[in-house]
Structure 1
């Protein structure tokens, strides 16, 4: 099995891949059918004197080039295009410019603390985006230092500040009703997707990727197996965007969701009119709707309903909040949302969970009050102090 920091890992195609830094500051890649085979090839390469020592790295590369190398050689291979774009922006706009004039030797505890302070003091960046930047920064540093540093303990001495968690935005029950009425009176039937999200909690990209074949009208369920996103095409010199259809966010995001009966009836009627299994639910064709285009449609519905503008993701938060209000257990909510762990669900909806706890305790209070006789104070009398006689010689 590969050891931490060894730069040998198993690829999705079943092969093993390893790498070794060369004297020009670039990596030499090795492939094999097994971990042992790759390790032997790297060892042979090192014995021929073609590898570079950690001390030599310091003289050959700048700090910013290490971040560039990490982005291009590591991240581009192991994450989805949309995630790569997110990492790309964090690194290119904030992290790499900070280190652009610094040598490798200047990746120190002080420089890390300096960057953290730089992030903390920048009021133009939202709290949620600061969290994302610092997460990318910490991940990049840990892997870069593991691969190249004589003292990877730099990070052990740095405490990254906890940025404040923004309170999730949700629609009130009244607002949700107004939105649903606006959808049902809208001639553009694509807006039915908004109601579907209110009662399933699916993400915007998952909604846009739905095909009619994903609906099981007999069992009243919906299967999520794809997502649509618009991302930059980094292979294009102008970095134009492209529409990508891929797998969901994580392994647990591929899931089967039960739908309420009223929605199944409406959807089934739409399907009978002209739905085809190989066509996308939102367009009726073999081409999915662009998430950005649907967001514009969503904003028109909010305007029509007279509801304050919120991000589309607020619908997902609203679904989870309604489920908590209906006493649905947190594990079930987490499964429906497709979170990779229950702890993620609990962290996001901590405020709503506290409200539910207060309601539960109020029920105990009501039970106690109901057990009291009319006119009796429902308060436990405090224990009076008892004066104990002092000990005497005769006692």
Structure 2
């Protein structure tokens, strides 16, 4: 038989206690929910103090819900909402939104992506970070930044009472895999590669991407920028190629032409060396009319040519030439390497490549610059030697 009830006032209002037959306590309160309806709720515990603590936590969370705070939001809920708002406000475009959502899927598949963020502990987040070391350092870094953003948003929105990502123990992990370094073609490999493309006639009912590869090799343009060229971008009179757009990938892997390039510095004028002029004229002469007015167009699928399509062709060419397989981005690195070997100043190369910062140019091609510095020392030694003699 239950023992007698007693009245107890807490910070949110009145409640009623009763001690149950098993010795535990029940604390029953009346409250108004987020829809304005009066309801009752009971809390149980080994002591009256514990019951009050549970009630206070419940009422505190209820007040948050009344102000529109989703107290049960997960990391994914928070980030999806933020990314969508950023997309609507044009802080990020479809391509960036798609990349963010792709990285978020790594969290979404995990345990911490399914539990409300306010219940997550340092240990659980640390275990997740340990579990993603099989990804590349680039991917790990992006996921880690997403976690930091989610917990900061949760704290700012009063969903959590603390930001556990500020803990010194939750550092960004490193990948088990070594960072992939894109290698440029050697001069011998480049000669083989160019010779093969010059004699390549193509196959029936298959796209021929030879011109795109040669343009990348001779200008250093990104393949997405090349596949987004229009005839108006080719200016033979001034001897430049206007880089204004790129092929981007949006939601559901949809390819589209993005006004502007990968970076703001990517919108640029690229010089047109003599060797590339016949290639551009060939591309213009063989161009097929299309709704997007593109210089290069996939007539088979009636759509935009993706970088991946060209990359597959590039790998087949490398196999036939006996060149170690690399991504077609190696041609951009090859162009930069030849420029450095030709003593083109780094500040000029930065502009041609569309880098936002000269440090990107210097860091990316540090090995090539180092070899040139060593050669310069030898030249200096010889020069001084001739003076003293």
Q: TM-score over 0.5 for the alignment? A: yes
Q: Is the 8 A contact 1:68 1:96 kept in 2?
A: no
Deviation at 1:332, TM superposition (A): 1.5
C-alpha distance 193-51 of structure 1, shift in aligned 2 (>3 A): farther
Residues 296-355 of structure 1, C-alpha deviations (whole Å, 9 max, x = no match): 332332233232221111111222222222222222112111122222222322222322
Q: Distance in 2 between matches of 1:282 and 1:203?
A: 14
Residues 57-109 of structure 1, C-alpha deviations (whole Å, 9 max, x = no match): 58433344334433444467533333323222221124662413533234555
> Which residue in 2 is equivalent to 1:347?
363
> Which residue in 1 is equivalent to 2:14?
none
Q: Distance in 2 between matches of 1:368 and 1:351?
A: 26
SS of residue paired to 2:371: helix
Aligned with 1:169 (options 158, 183, 188) = 183
Matches within 5 A, 1:147-296: 147-148=157-158, 149-152=160-163, 154-155=165-166, 157=168, 158-160=170-172, 165-188=179-202, 190-233=209-252, 241-247=253-259, 248-268=261-281, 270-271=283-284, 279-283=293-297, 287-296=303-312
> Which residue in 1 is equivalent to 2:136?
126
Deviation at 1:270, TM superposition (A): 5.0
Deviation at 1:212, TM superposition (A): 1.4
Unaligned runs of 5+ in 2: 1-33, 36-61, 203-207
Q: Is the 8 A contact 1:201 1:337 kept in 2?
A: yes
Q: Distance in 2 between matches of 1:358 and 1:138?
A: 43
> Which residue in 2 is equivalent to 1:238?
none
Moved over 6 A (4+): 53-56, 273-278
Q: Distance in 1 between matches of 2:132 and 2:190?
A: 37
SS of residue paired to 1:320: helix
Q: Is the 8 A contact 2:288 2:297 kept in 1?
A: no
> Which residue in 2 is equivalent to 1:309?
325
> Which residue in 2 is equivalent to 1:393?
none
Root-mean-square deviation (CA, aligned residues, Å) is 3.6
Q: Distance in 1 between matches of 2:66 and 2:337?
A: 52
Deviation at 1:226, TM superposition (A): 1.4
C-alpha distance 69-230 of structure 1, shift in aligned 2 (>3 A): closer
Q: Distance in 2 between matches of 1:279 and 1:64?
A: 39
SS of residue paired to 2:255: strand
Q: Distance in 2 between matches of 1:159 and 1:273?
A: 54
> Which residue in 1 is equivalent to 2:95?
82
Q: Which deviates more from structure 2 when the two are superposed, residues 349-358 or residues 106-115?
A: 106-115
Number of residues of Structure 1 aligned to a counterpart in Structure 2: 316
C-alpha distance 140-78 of structure 1, shift in aligned 2 (>3 A): farther
> Which residue in 2 is equivalent to 1:356?
372
SS of residue paired to 1:279: coil
Deviation at 1:356, TM superposition (A): 2.6
Deviation at 1:113, TM superposition (A): 4.0
Q: Is the 8 A contact 2:227 2:247 kept in 1?
A: yes
Deviation at 1:117, TM superposition (A): 3.0
> Which residue in 1 is equivalent to 2:106?
93
SS of residue paired to 1:160: coil
Structure showing greater Rg: 2
Q: Distance in 2 between matches of 1:301 and 1:199?
A: 17
Q: Distance in 2 between matches of 1:252 and 1:206?
A: 13
C-alpha distance 184-220 of structure 1, shift in aligned 2 (>3 A): same
Q: Is the 8 A contact 1:206 1:228 kept in 2?
A: yes
Aligned with 2:340 (options 309, 324, 333) = 324
Residues 95-146 of structure 1, C-alpha deviations (whole Å, 9 max, x = no match): 66241353323455555544433333x3xx2334334433444444445544
Q: Distance in 1 between matches of 2:279 and 2:72?
A: 65
SS of residue paired to 1:339: coil
Q: Is the 8 A contact 2:242 2:269 kept in 1?
A: yes
SS of residue paired to 2:237: coil
Q: Distance in 2 between matches of 1:287 and 1:349?
A: 35
TM-score normalized by the length of structure 2: 0.68
C-alpha distance 218-78 of structure 1, shift in aligned 2 (>3 A): same
Q: Is the 8 A contact 1:61 1:103 kept in 2?
A: yes
